[in-house]
Amino acid sequence: MADSSLQEYLCPNCGGPLEFNGEQQKMVCVYCESSFDMSEVKKNSGNDVSGEWTQSEGAKLEAGAEGVKEYTCDSCGAVMVCDGQLGATECPYCGNPAIMESVFTGMNLPDGIIPFANDKKVAQEAMENYYKGKKLLPPGFVNSNRLEEIKGVYVPFWLFDCDCNASGFYTATKERTFEENGSKFKETKEYAVSRIAKMRYEKVPADGAKEMRDEYMDSIEPFDYSKIIPYDPAYFSGYLASKYDETADDVKPRVNGRIKNTSEEKLRESVTGYDSVHADRVSVDIKQGKVTYCMLPVWMLTTRWNGNAYTFAMNGQTGKVTGDLPIDKGQCTKHFCITFAIAAVICFLVSYFLFSLSIGPAIGASAVISAIIAFIALSSAKSAMVSHVKTEAKHYFVDSAYKMLSSNDKHVRTRKEKIETPNS
């Protein structure tokens, strides 16, 4: 109903998109039936997520703290801190073997920390298992892995808590066909549907380390937050800790996007009973957004293969592993051919014996179907080799706090069109 050119203007009353009504010479809202002069309406800022996040002011570990060493990787820019016992010999993020020891310049301490819950041996085994069943891996890659180089790193994370009001405005239709005087008609009833709900999200995570690829950290979610404890320097002993180089503000757009997508999905689920539903506008208003800073445990390993670095990360609490693996062209061809051959034989037997096709068409049909099957199988095997960025926040949605505040389904107009005339 509200076409995109008019969505620039929002109803000051309910936030829905406005339409211009030529008869009234006014902007009208089909959702709440208000009408306004052009001068009264507000322009859509284009910002679908509004509201502020406030950040806790953490303690600081000052320069000069005893036994603390700082390392900088000049390849990826990571800055890490560790206690005197542990020397860092290579960068856990990019595998650069020449990281520089530098003067400790102090660091912001986290509000909380989740200590490592599994040891190096468990991490090594989990990495080994990760390679198993990955059909497209080049032969020899597994043996070249230096599992002994695996490092425990406390990765800085920003955790976002908020209450929010999410509003959705939809154009929905119900359709039916009927006959009148021998003609067939299609009737479309159009509804203006709006939903406003209260939602809560707890601890939506985003890492604060630029050198750490977002899809790695997203892939090893979730962490068990019930195990967060107040920071104590004793937990750092034997591990590296990264200094954050992305602030909560820097990662906010990613978190807002995740919250928006999940809010949108929750609202959409509540619009039922229609033949079609189109979202005109969905917005999220964040209230009392709060950000805390936390160190989360991650086992890291970087391996070089044919001149490229491959990094693996394992959740130091749950043991979940991720990492992009090299894909071997030869293995792809082999995988494709085997799947194709098996599928082709089955398709041929089915079409020849079961559907009694003659040999020519049976071969043709089998070839086409098998090629499709082999292609799908190859794509899914490839997708298992890479990690993916998270674009939703379902896991952090608090079900018990979900409350529908307003729910409106209003009939706006009915369209009738003739789809068949009787033969005269």
Q: Residues interacting with Zn ion, by CB under 5 A?
A: 11, 13-14, 16, 29, 31-32, 73, 75-76, 78, 91, 93-94, 96
Could you tell me the smallest distance in angstroms from the CB atom of residue 315 to Zn ion?
21
Question: Which residue, 111 or 211, is less far from Zn ion as judged by CB?
Answer: 211
Question: Which residue, 91 or 159, is less far from Zn ion as judged by CB?
Answer: 91
Question: Which residue, 94 or 369, is less far from Zn ion as judged by CB?
Answer: 94
Could you tell me the smallest distance in angstroms from the CB atom of residue 77 to Zn ion?
7
Q: Residue 175: what are its φ and ψ, rounded to 5°?
A: -120, 145
Distances (CA, A) of 228 to 3, 16, 72, 232: 48, 41, 28, 11
What one-character DSSP code corresponds to residue 130?
H
Cα four-point dihedral sign 340, 343, 345, 347 = negative
Token readout for 116 is 């490592």
Cα four-point dihedral sign 164, 165, 170, 176 = positive
For the chain, the distance separating the N- and C-terminal CA atoms, rounded to the nearest angstrom, is 37
Say if CB 389 and CB 218 are below 8 A apart: yes
Chain centroid to CA 319: 20
Token readout for 369 is 């179907």
Question: Which residue, 55 or 75, is less far from Zn ion as judged by CB?
Answer: 75
- As a whole number of angstroms, the distance between CA 263 and CA 178 comes to 38
Could you tell me the smallest distance in angstroms from the CB atom of residue 263 to Zn ion?
19
Question: Which residue, 16 or 110, is less far from Zn ion as judged by CB?
Answer: 16
At residue 190, what is the residue type? E
Could you tell me the smallest distance in angstroms from the CB atom of residue 160 to Zn ion?
27
Chain centroid to CA 86: 35
Question: Which residue, 242 or 387, is less far from Zn ion as judged by CB?
Answer: 242
Could you tell me the smallest distance in angstroms from the CB atom of residue 72 to Zn ion?
9
Task: List the alpha helices (DSSP H) in 212-318.
Answer: 214-219, 248-269
Please enumerate in sequence order all residues whose Cβ is within 8 A of that of 105, keeping only pairs 6 or more positions apart, or say none: 63, 70
Question: Which residue, 78 or 127, is less far from Zn ion as judged by CB?
Answer: 78
Question: Which residue, 281 or 335, is less far from Zn ion as judged by CB?
Answer: 281
The helix (H) or strand (E) run that includes residue 405 is strand 403-420
- As a whole number of angstroms, the distance between CA 292 and CA 299 comes to 22
Could you tell me the smallest distance in angstroms from the CB atom of residue 28 to Zn ion?
9
Query: Which residues are registered as beta bridge partners of 408?
Result: 194
Could you tell me the smallest distance in angstroms from the CB atom of residue 14 to Zn ion?
3
Could you tell me the smallest distance in angstroms from the CB atom of residue 233 to Zn ion?
24
